[in-house]
Amino acid sequence: MKFSKDLSPSEIKYKYLGLTKTNREEFPEKDELFDVKFKGKVFKMKVSGKTKDSIMLTPLYSAHEFKEGDTLTIKSAKKGFDFSVE
């Protein structure tokens, strides 16, 4: 699985990644931790318990200050997921 998403102003302001129904199926159940490798670091992330279709990006802000128009690319890895930003 690999997909890219341009982050919206709302996603930047509230520090989350909205998932489509198709992409949501690729991630674990809500509140179940999974590894995300981003900029050489591994972060423990989860699909939000408040809404089943988003991932909070707050932990990633320690490695990158996201801006409107950033494209986040997500791909499956052997253990968890790899995230990158352009």
- What residue spans define the domains of the chain? 2-85
CA gyration radius, the chain: 12
Identity of the amino acid at 68: E
**Residue 80: pLDDT over 80:** yes
pTM given for the model:
0.88
* Paired strand residues for 75: 2, 82
What's the mean pLDDT in 61-75? 95
Q: For residue 52, which of 82, 79, 78, 21 has the smallest C-alpha distance? A: 21
pLDDT given for residue 15 in this prediction: 95
pLDDT given for residue 77 in this prediction: 94
Q: Which CATH number fits domain 2-85: 2.40.330.10, 2.60.40.60, 3.20.20.150, 3.30.70.100?
A: 2.40.330.10
Of the chain, the percentage scoring pLDDT greater than 70 comes to 100
**Residue 50: pLDDT over 80:** no
**Residue 52: pLDDT over 80:** no
Q: For residue 70, which of 22, 43, 38 has the smallest C-alpha distance? A: 38
> What's the mean per-residue pLDDT of the chain?
93
